[in-house]
Amino acid sequence: MDVAYEPPWMDSRRVPKGPRTRRPCNDPRKPITLEGQQANNKAPHHTSRPQAKKAPLLFATHRIHQRNSNPLFPFEPMHHDTSLIDIIAVGLAVAFILGALANKLRLSPLVGYLVAGMVVGPFTPGFVANQDLANQLSELGVMLLMFGVGLHFSLEDLLEVKWIAIPGAIVQIAVATMLGWGLAWTMGWPWLNGLVFGLALSVASTVVLLRALEERRLLETQRGKIAIGWLIVEDLVMVLALVLLPALASALGGDHGSGGGLAIAMAMGWTLLKMAAFVAVMLIVGRRAIPWILARIAATGSRELFTLAVLAIALGVAFGSAMLFGVSFALGAFFAGMLLNESELSHKAANDSLPLRDAFAVLFFVSVGMLFNPSILVEHPWQVLATFLTITVGKSVAAFFIVRAFGHPTGTALTISVSLAQIGEFSFILAGLGVGLAILPETGRDLILAGALLSIIANPFLFSWLDRWQAKHAQEAPQPAEIELPPGPPLPTEGHAIVIGYGRVGSALAPLLRDRGVPVLVIDDNRDHVERAHAAGIPAIRGSAAADKVLAEAHPQRAKIAVLAIPQPLEAGETLSKLRALNPTLTLLARAHSDAEVKYLLEHGADGAVLAERELAHSLTEMILSTPPYRALRQVPPAPSPAG
């Protein structure tokens, strides 16, 4: 409610009784009460509460001096514009609840995040978040998502399966794009709309695929490596599409069929030239500057500064690339992550930036869900069904025959097909870009979101069918069609020690046990840690120790001892409980960093917990007392502590 500024020293007796009035400038005879004026300020259709007209900034800080009819408290509370707080607080809270529910139902949390966006969006009753702010937060989420993609980009993974991943992914993208374009053509869309629609249906979700492979212990198998390499190619193609689509839309203008070949070629060539200049600058300057900056910041020992440096590099490169070279935020963030991946500090950068990346990724999915109009399911049911079948059947069948054409067995072909039978984050980014450039109708975006929701929900059921098919095939076939041994030294199965975590502590502990004749098995979810253990001749399993299938592969029922050398007490507590349930006689030791963690780990089944700081203090004390000035004090008992 806007009021004129009243200095706090104004005498309240000069304020007239009753409701205050204000006369319009064009009619001084008609007083309008502020209450009536507030009632006439209708809220926009996309909000759930009235929004008062903003006051001038000069007077915004003085609203506390508005008069109140309550004589005991003559001041009204300060009113804030809380749209940003609303969408972050409510969006994250609803996403947490629905994401946890989806996880409980053994679905991807992405389903919960998208449904959370629908709940706070304009197409459902109740609270409605600010869509403009949601779009800006989603842009930030896109940048951090692409930074994470670049940070985990592995050229080695791609080159290992390049002979099938590169041609297979390109052909599958082409087939899926043509299927999507054909569906768009039946709906009367221009060819460019169909191209964007088909591209959005051709790329699988990294989050969904990696989770499905990890749950089935397929990441280190040949099938898993092909699927990951295939996904890397898809991501690279989509990054290129994000760069070229704006140029293509600009060359074609408002009429998508009127652009000449020369105009299109010039626009695409100019865009590729700018992208090449950006890549050259990043490879020449960024490749040296980014690791150098991070190394200097890490030398300060400040975790806050290091985390801030990582985020500043990610967002700064994305913003600078858009301003200086005209390339998309997504490409800039992707290259920043790629260059940071080459640094020795890449794992620390990934871990430190992970909470913020995850939070904004959730807000990105929430903002995407806000755009989804559920009425599409009723108004265009056949188009929704056709979109769903294109994702789950069309491109999966194409992937199956491509893998079989390269000579791989049916089990591998089915695994790749089911892994790719869904779409996710890149599809949302392409859909948003297409709508923003007016090269994709909003109906197309709704069909993409509906297809994503349905395909992500259906994907676990497809994998369950695949698991049953493989189990039946394994029983019927006396010789497995494809024998896939785990990488590294053979795993011990009896009388061994399980070391969970191969970081600073585990990498020192495991070799000491091995050198003293103790059979050791390492569990770690970090690929580099597992490879280092294999290089040292130590058997290792990649995965989370809290996962049932990972623990089963370590044979805890026949182990003698398990040591949790990971610094995460919550994960350690969950793992301790599962190990104790699997083998009640197993000796369990854990690592802690506080008395509270020691208590927590002991309550969850640990037989002993080592407080690192306390052991360090004891070791330093022994070293001090072994020096000549204090050597005589080693035999003196410690003085009793004074009574509190």
Interval 471-495 mean pLDDT: 66
Neighbours of 196 (CB within 10 A): 30
Residue 48 has a pLDDT of 42
**Alpha-carbon torsion angle 131, 135, 141, 143, nearest 10:** -170
- pLDDT band at 47; cut points 50, 70, 90: very low
Intervals of CATH 1.20.1530.20 along the chain: 88-269+355-475
- pLDDT: which is higher, 7 or 258: 258
Q: pLDDT value at position 240? A: 85
Of 94-98, 190-194, 208-212, the poorest mean pLDDT is in: 208-212
Report, as an integer, the average pLDDT of 295-316.
Answer: 84
* Separation between Cα atoms, residue 417 and residue 426, nearest integer Å: 18
Arithmetic mean of pLDDT, 326-338: 78
| Across 115-124, 213-222, 372-381, least confident range | 213-222
Provide, rounded to the nearest whole percent, the portion of the chain with pLDDT above 70: 81
Q: Using alpha carbons, select from 495, 606, 607 the residue that is nearest to residue 559.
A: 495
pLDDT at position 11: 43
pLDDT by residue (tens digit) across 252-290?
Answer: 764 454 556 677 778 778 878 888 888 888 888 877 888
Structure tokens at 461: 């059921």
DSSP conformational letter for 54: P
- Cα torsion for 453, 454, 460, 461, to the nearest 10°? 170
- Determine the pLDDT at residue 196: 92
What is d(CA 363, CA 141) in angstroms, rounded to the nearest whole number? 7
Q: State the pLDDT at residue 360.
A: 83
Q: What is the Cα–Cα distance from 498 to 492, expressed in whole angstroms? A: 10
Mean of the pLDDT values across residues 247-255? 69
CA–CA distance, 344 with 246 (Å, rounded to integer):
36
Going by pLDDT thresholds of 50, 70 and 90, the confidence category of residue 485 is low
In the predicted structure, residue 407 carries a pLDDT above the cut 50 = yes
SS3 636: coil
Exposed/middle/buried for 275, CB within 10 Å: 0-12, 13-18, 19+? buried
Q: What is the mean pLDDT of residues 49-60?
A: 37
DSSP SS3 for 321: helix
Looking at residue 183, its pLDDT comes to 93
CA 379: distance to chain centroid?
32
Residue 67 pLDDT greater than 80, yes or no: no
Q: How confident is the model at residue 335 (pLDDT cuts 50, 70, 90)?
A: confident
Tell me: pLDDT of 205 over 50: yes
Answer for the pair 451, 394: CB distance below 8 angstroms, yes or no.
Answer: no
- Mean pLDDT computed over 454-458: 89
Could you tell me where in the chain the CATH 3.40.50.720 domains are found? 497-635
Sign of the C-alpha dihedral computed for residues 349, 355, 360 and 361 taken in this order: positive
User: What pLDDT shows up at residue 246?
Assistant: 84
CATH topology of domain 88-269+355-475: Na+/H+ antiporter like fold (1.20.1530)
Instruction: Name the pLDDT band for 640 (thresholds 50, 70, 90).
Output: low
341, pLDDT greater than 60: yes
pLDDT for 63 equals 36
**Contact residues for 423 (Cβ-Cβ < 8 A; gap 6+):** 200, 201, 203, 204, 205, 391, 448, 451, 452, 455
Position with higher pLDDT, 10 vs 172: 172
Quick check: 82 pLDDT over 90?
no
pLDDT of residue 81: 55
Tell me what the mean pLDDT of segment 455-472 comes to. Answer: 86
Question: Of 89-93, 162-166, 560-564, which one has max mean pLDDT?
Answer: 560-564
Q: Does domain 497-635 have CATH number 3.40.50.720?
A: yes
Token digits of residue 52: 């008062």
Lowest mean pLDDT among 5-14, 524-533, 554-563: 5-14
| Confidence band for 149, pLDDT divided at 50, 70 and 90 | confident
pLDDT at 512 over 90: yes
Mean pLDDT of 289-312: 84
Percent of the chain with pLDDT over 90: 23
Contacts of 440 (CB under 8 A, 6+ apart): 193, 196, 197, 431, 434
Overall average pLDDT of the 126-142 stretch: 78
Helix (H/G/I), strand (E/B), else coil: 248: helix
Mean pLDDT, the chain, whole residue set: 78
Question: Which residues fall within 8 angstroms of residue 278, CB to CB, at 6 or more apart?
Answer: 321, 324, 325, 327, 331, 332, 335
Say which range, 117-126, 140-149, 452-461, has the weakest mean pLDDT. 140-149
What whole-number distance in Å separates Cα of residue 214 and Cα of residue 218?
6
Q: Nearest 5°: CA angle at 128, between 122 and 134?
A: 85
Choice among 105-114, 271-280, 514-523, 628-637 with the minimum mean pLDDT: 628-637
Residues 584-616 have pLDDT tens digits of 999 999 999 888 999 999 999 999 999 888 888
Spatial separation of the C-alpha atoms in residues 316 and 427, rounded to whole Å: 25
Highest mean pLDDT among 24-28, 115-119, 278-282: 115-119
pLDDT (0 to 100) of residue 509: 93
**Placement of tokens 């007077």 in the chain:** 59
What is the structure's pLDDT at 49? 39
Structure-block tokens of residue 546: 């809290």
